[in-house]
Amino acid sequence: MSQIVIASGLGSGRVVFLAKGSKTGAVAWGGLIEVSEVAADDARAAELLAIAEADAATQNEVVEPYLIDVEDKGGQLRPTKYREVIRCLGPTVREDLGKQAEGTSA
């Protein structure tokens, strides 16, 4: 199962994604799931998580990073668990709020 790293922005609390090309000392976070660096196996996922955790501990940009499972659905990355789908979109009862209201998708 493919995995990506998700976290919350320290100042905003908003959901952010560990971006492609991130490595220790040069980490980028984006607000769209599409920017995510995708780990194809558990070993790579552990590496990404370690990079994210080190960044969270030192750079004061994000908090509470963790891995989520994703799949490719019609060319778009999508979390496999509904909890993370909701997290990546926004409240299902308020489609005017969250990332879904910003025209982004999960």
Partner 1 sequence: MYRYDEHDHALVQDRVTQFRRQVERRMAGEISEEQFRPLRLMNGLYLQLHAYMLRVAIPYGTLDSRQMRKLAYISRRYDKGYGHFTTRQNIQYNWPKLEETPDILAELAEVEMHAIQTSGNCIRNVTSDQYAGAAKGEIEDPRIWCEIARQWSTLHPEFSFLPRKFKIAITGCDNDRAAVKVHDIGMIMKRDASGEVGFEVIVGGGLGRTPFVGKTIREFLPKEHFLSYLEAILRVYNQLGRRDNKYKARIKVTLHETGKEEFTRLVEEEWMQIKDSTLKLPKEEVDRIAKHFEPPAFKAVPEVAPTVDARAASDAGFASWLRHNIFEHKTQGYSIANISVKPMGEAPGDATAEQMDAMADLADEFSFSELRVTHSQNVVLPHVEREALPALYDKLVEAGLATANLGLLSDIICCPGLDYCALANARSIPIAMKIAERFTPAKQEEIGDLQIKISGCINACGHHHVGHIGILGVDRKGEEHYQVQLGGSATEEAALGKILGRGFSADEVVEVVDKIIATYLDIREDGEEFIETFRRVGQTPFKERVYGTA
Q: From CA 72, how far away is CA 47, in angstroms rounded? A: 21
CB of 104 to partner 1, least distance (A): 13
Q: Select 21 or 102, whichever has its Cβ closest to partner 1.
A: 102
Q: Does 60 bind partner 1 (CB under 8 A)?
A: yes
Q: Does 64 bind partner 1 (CB under 8 A)?
A: yes
The label of the residue with tokens 């659905």 reads: 73
> What is the rounded end-to-end Cα distance, in angstroms, of the chain?
17
Within 16-55, the residues that bind partner 1 by CB under 8 A are: none
Strand-pair partners of 69 = 3
CB contact set of 16 (below 8 Å; sequence gap of 6+): 6, 7, 8, 9, 29, 30, 31, 62
CB of 72 to partner 1, least distance (A): 18
CB of 9 to partner 1, least distance (A): 9
Give contact residues for partner 1 (rule: CB under 8 A).
8, 10-15, 56-60, 63-64, 80-83, 86-87, 90-94, 97-98
